């Protein structure tokens, strides 16, 4: 917050200096504001990485699941895109994406879920909302998003937003394909090596996000001179 405040103050002073005809001071203050913006992005990234590692640590979620709780929308979009690409490259057939129900957002509006859906659409993948509305099921093979058989996919207490472990019966909200009411077949055999290798990629995935976050923040914060 301190860096954000300093950044905003520098940009405001830069604008005032430019309006007063002092181009040199305006440029100097603009560069100072960008420096504070970069620090802010770095601090936010550190917090994002910590939250991501904590939520996705081995034993907290299965290897076919990614938890985006606590992430900013832009970061969540980048993270899930990289994870989908990695999962497909290793032969993973599906991915459960925990997006949250928006309980902590203003107006209880889901913010991360629409961005994850956008990524799936851009990658040509079909998805649906699981019985717990805070989770998306993504078929990584390009077919209809059919939920796996009922069973203990989430460790006890880890199913998001107070849901129960496993996948209880009932209708599912289908996107991008025809309705398969109540069909429970798995999209394919889960690869044995996924349990071993999925968690080991978390640090690589998190480190990939920093350059993108910095570039987006720098573009958003530039002052027109």
Residue 6 lies in a domain: yes
Same domain, yes or no, for 33 and 69?
no
Q: What is the pTM of this model?
A: 0.56
Domain tally, the chain? 2
Residue 191 lies in a domain: yes
Each residue's pLDDT tens digit, 6-35:
888 888 999 998 899 988 988 998 998 888
Beta strands in 113-224 (DSSP E): 127-129, 135-139, 173-175
Same domain, yes or no, for 98 and 31?
no
Query: Residue 152 maps to which CATH number?
Result: 3.30.1370.110
Residue 68 lies in a domain: yes
Q: Average of pLDDT values for 178-189?
A: 39
Residue 141 lies in a domain: yes
For the sheet containing 173-175, what is the strand order? 65-67, 94-98, 135-139, 127-129, 173-175
Same domain, yes or no, for 189 and 128?
yes
Q: What are phi and psi of 16, to 5 degrees?
A: -65, -40
Highest mean pLDDT among 121-125, 158-162, 189-193, 216-220: 121-125
Each residue's pLDDT tens digit, 121-175:
999 999 998 887 789 999 998 877 776 654 434 433 344 433 333 222 333 344 4
Nearest to 136 by CA among 67, 37, 202, 60: 67
Residue 117 lies in a domain: yes
Q: What is the pLDDT of residue 95?
A: 94
Same domain, yes or no, for 30 and 87?
no
Q: What is the pLDDT of residue 223?
A: 40
Same domain, yes or no, for 26 and 124?
no
* Higher local confidence (pLDDT), 101 or 198: 101
Same domain, yes or no, for 35 and 81?
no
Q: What is the pLDDT of residue 144?
A: 79
Same domain, yes or no, for 83 and 190?
yes
Q: What is the pLDDT of residue 213?
A: 52
Q: What is the pLDDT of residue 143?
A: 78
- The yes-or-no verdict on residue 225 having pLDDT over 80 is no
Q: What is the mean pLDDT of the chain?
A: 72
Same domain, yes or no, for 70 and 36?
no
Residue 188 lies in a domain: yes
Same domain, yes or no, for 73 and 167?
yes
- 94: β partners: 139
Residue 209 — pLDDT band, cuts 50, 70, 90?
A: low
Q: Average of pLDDT values for 63-85?
A: 91
Q: What is the pLDDT of residue 52?
A: 87
Same domain, yes or no, for 72 and 174?
yes
Same domain, yes or no, for 91 and 178?
yes
* DSSP secondary structure of 52-68: HHHHTSBTTB-TTEEE-
- The yes-or-no verdict on residue 49 having pLDDT over 60 is yes
Q: What is the pLDDT of residue 167?
A: 28
Residue 202 lies in a domain: no
28-37, 109-118, 214-223: least confident range: 214-223
Please give the residue range of the domain that contains residue 31: 2-53+210-221
Residue 205 lies in a domain: no
Same domain, yes or no, for 132 and 72?
yes
């Amino acid at each position: 917050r301190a860096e954000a405040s300093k950044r905003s103050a520098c940009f405001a002073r830069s604008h005032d200096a430019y309006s007063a005809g002092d181009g040199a001071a305006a440029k100097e203050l603009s560069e100072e504001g960008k420096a504070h913006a970069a620090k802010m992005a770095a601090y936010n990234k550190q917090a994002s990485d910590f939250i991501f590692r904590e939520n996705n640590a081995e034993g907290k979620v299965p290897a076919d699941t990614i938890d985006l709780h606590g992430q900013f929308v832009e970061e969540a979009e980048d993270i899930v895109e990289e994870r989908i690409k990695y999962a497909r490259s290793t032969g993973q057939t599906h991915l459960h994406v925990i997006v949250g129900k928006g309980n902590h957002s203003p107006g209880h509006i889901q913010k991360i879920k629409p961005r994850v859906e956008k990524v799936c659409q851009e990658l040509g993948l079909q998805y649906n909302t699981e019985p717990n509305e805070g989770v998306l099921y993504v078929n990584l093979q390009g077919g209809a998003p059919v939920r796996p058989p009922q069973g203990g996919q989430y460790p006890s207490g880890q199913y998001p937003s107070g849901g129960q472990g496993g996948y209880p019966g009932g209708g599912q909200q289908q996107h991008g394909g025809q309705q398969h009411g109540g069909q429970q077949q798995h999209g394919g055999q889960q690869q044995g090596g996924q349990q071993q290798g999925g968690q080991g990629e978390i640090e690589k995935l998190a480190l990939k996000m920093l350059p993108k976050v910095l570039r987006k923040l720098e573009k958003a914060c530039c002052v027109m001179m």
